[in-house]
Amino acid sequence: MTEYALSIHSLCKTYRNGVVALDDVELEVKKGDFFALLGPNGAGKSTLIGIITSLVSKSAGKVHVMGYDIDSQFSQAKSKIGVVPQDFNFNKFEPILEILKNQAGYFGMNRRAALLAAEECLDKLSLWEKRKHTPRELSGGMNRRLLIARALVHDPELLILDEPTAGVDIEIRRSIWKLMRKNNEDGRTIILTTHYLEEAENLCRSIGIIDRGKIIVNTSMRKLLEKLKEESFILYLQHPITQPLDLEDYSYKVIDSKTLEVALSQNKTLHRLFNILSRQAVTVLSIRNKANRLEELFLTMTGQSSE
Amino acid sequence: MKPSHQLVALHTILAKEIRRFARIWMQTILPSAITVALYFLIMGKFIGSRIGNVDGYTYIEFIAPGLIMMGIISNSYANSVSSFYSSKFQRHIEEMLVSPMPNYIIVLGFVLGGMARGLIVGVAVTLTALFFTRLEIQSVTLVVVTSILTAALFSTAGLINGIFAKSFDDTSIVPTFVLTPLTYLGGIFFSISMLPDFWYKASQLNPILYMVNSFRMGILGVSDVDLTVAMSVIIGLLAALFMTSLYLLNKGIGIRN
């Protein structure tokens, strides 16, 4: 019995136009993990997901899902996967209950089991009231939830979500996060691609960063964040500062008279900073990260400048 | 995937296909019945009465089997090509591609869907024909077998067109420029024995001739071609097209990057 939900070795993909989308990719995702797959646009994320889900043909390499080879044991491998694509790909003229029943049917569930599973998924995703509507009649957020419901209808062990919260409002995003967390807590392995790095940092335990078709990072979120050498904070002050501050070995810059930006390296603490400020009678009203921590690392690793 | 699960998946595709064309029956079933009624009225009643008998039958009796076959051919083809292409266009073909269904189940599902529409239209056209002429079937078995095989053949051909199609225009090129001429020249409105020697021989290269005549043999008991040859052509072509469509799907042509 394998410990990996997904295991990829020497995976390559070269498109007919000569574009190398994946170059000798090695990746392993443990069962039960919540894994973030990040990368800039065109890095190869969608190609990688496409190959795992059989929507893209690979040029070389091996992919195993729950220990099953996607080539020689494709039926067993595919039965374990649920995929939430980036774009809406429904039959726009079919009621959503039918869409879910059909999807269950394609996975071999008989009509009765398919109906029960479809009803349960619609209920879980708060779409039950809309079961007789077609996707054309649903809002963007509802369609996004419908994609997830469809991916879950056959109860897959591995759920792959390709930017599931793109373009949805905060309320729906939070509800999708809650649902993903619940699914992961129930034992489902989740692989998530997202452009919202805050989302990845909040939800995922492991992370892989893909850049120019190569996996450049594959580690735990904690270990990755430990690599962050410096973090910048924005401090909002109660009163304006009238003269330069002496913050000892902390470097800072004044944004305006009531706002400071302070850089903290790994060995410096916020506690000491506040003590220094307090001694100079500076009261901090609130504080926030200048940028998401993962975002800083991501930009560094993929060689992009944040400025 | 277990065989019982494959059957469930096949049933799911077929039921979906039937629901699809039944939902838009005014576009899928009715036009053929109206078109054929007009053929019977104009070619059969008005012009046919001046033509006289062909192979011992009135002209309207002679063309009836061919017109029924025309409905089956065009609708089986149209269903597969439009359904498969629109599932590619809207990308919900991916629902099937990510599932554990083997490709032959996908091919069979679309082919059976096209056959269902072709055969339903065949029945509708036959009922329309009965308003204009009598049909005394000589061999029910031959009529049923020919109808099913022809529907399967053109449904598979439509599927291949759908696999290759890159735009809606591509779905109508073959029906307009290949299928319609072959159908009209396939002996629906005439017996090829009436043609000059060159055209008689040329007509034998038209596969639709064998379907129309096999069907006419089942209904009227007359045919321009040998039944064994006709069946061999139909079954041979069906097998070739089915294997081609399966090969294309296995290769991912037109559906996978």
Model confidence pLDDT, tens digit, residues A233-249: 889 999 998 888 888 88
| CA B96/CA B106 separation, integer angstroms | 8
The domain spans of chain A are: 4-221, 230-301
B95 touches chain A (CB under 8 A): yes
Helix boundaries (H) for chain B? 3-23, 25-28, 30-39, 48-51, 59-89, 93-97, 103-129, 140-164, 170-174, 180-184, 197-203, 207-220, 227-251
| CA B112/CA B20 separation, integer angstroms | 13
> Considering CB atoms only, which of B12, B92, B99 is closest to A91?
B92
DSSP conformation class of B54: B
Please give the average per-residue pLDDT across B68-91, as a whole number.
94
How many helices (H) and strands (E) chain A has is answered by 10, 14
CA angle B37, B39, B44 (to 5 degrees): 105
B4 touches chain A (CB under 8 A): yes
According to CATH, the topology of domain A230-301 is Alpha-Beta Plaits (3.30.70)
pLDDT of B219 over the 90 cut? yes
Count how many pairs of residues, chain A against chain B, have C-beta atoms within 8 Å. Answer: 85
Between chains, do B98 and A55 touch, taking CB under 8 Å as contact?
Answer: yes
B252 touches chain A (CB under 8 A): yes
B100 touches chain A (CB under 8 A): yes
pLDDT of A306 over the 70 cut? no
Please give the average per-residue pLDDT across B5-28, as a whole number.
94
Between chains, do A56 and B256 touch, taking CB under 8 Å as contact?
Answer: yes
Helix axes B3-23 and A96-106, enclosed angle (nearest 10): 150
Residue A186, SS3 per DSSP: coil
| CA A157/CA A82 separation, integer angstroms | 8
pLDDT of A307 over the 70 cut? no
> Considering CB atoms only, which of A57, A91, A108 is closest to B257?
A57
Polymer length in residues for chain B: 257
pLDDT of A227 over the 80 cut? no
Please check whether the domain covering A4-221 is classified as CATH 2.60.120.380: no
Residue A213 half-sphere exposure toward CB, CA atoms < 13 A: 13
| CA B157/CA A48 separation, integer angstroms | 33
A17 touches chain B (CB under 8 A): no
Which amino acid, A59? S
Q: Specify the pLDDT at position A4.
A: 94
The model carries a pTM of: 0.86
Between chains, do B99 and A103 touch, taking CB under 8 Å as contact?
Answer: yes
Q: How many CB atoms lie within 10 A of CB A233?
A: 17
Interface test with A, best of B92, B93, B106, B250 (most A CBs within 10 A): B92
Between chains, do A89 and B23 touch, taking CB under 8 Å as contact?
Answer: no
Residue B254 near residue B248 (C-beta atoms within 8 A) = yes
A106 touches chain B (CB under 8 A): yes
Between chains, do B91 and A89 touch, taking CB under 8 Å as contact?
Answer: yes
Q: If you measure CA to CA, which chain B residue comes closest to A101?
A: B12
Tokens of B203: 């007509």
DSSP conformation class of B178: I
pLDDT of B53 over the 60 cut? yes
Q: If you measure CA to CA, which chain B residue comes closest to A108?
A: B5
Gap from B124 CA to chain A (nearest CA, Å): 26
Instruction: Give the DSSP H or E segment for A210.
Output: strand A206-211
Percent of chain B with pLDDT over 70: 100
Between chains, do A105 and B9 touch, taking CB under 8 Å as contact?
Answer: yes
What burial class does residue B186 get, using C-beta atoms within 10 Å of its C-beta: 0-12 exposed, 13-18 middle, 19+ buried? buried
The domain spans of chain B are: 3-251
Q: Which of A100 and A261 is assigned the larger pLDDT?
A: A100
b/e per residue A3-29 (b: at least 16 CB within 10 A):
ebbbbbeebbbeeeeeeebbeebebbb
Interface test with B, best of A69, A106, A160 (most B CBs within 10 A): A106
Q: If you measure CA to CA, which chain B residue comes closest to A14?
A: B257
Between chains, do B94 and A55 touch, taking CB under 8 Å as contact?
Answer: yes
Between chains, do A102 and B16 touch, taking CB under 8 Å as contact?
Answer: yes
Q: What is the pLDDT of residues B147-200, one digit of tens each?
A: 999 999 999 999 999 999 999 999 999 988 998 889 888 888 888 888 888 888
Among candidate residues B12, B162, B15, the one with its CA nearest the CA of residue B99: B12
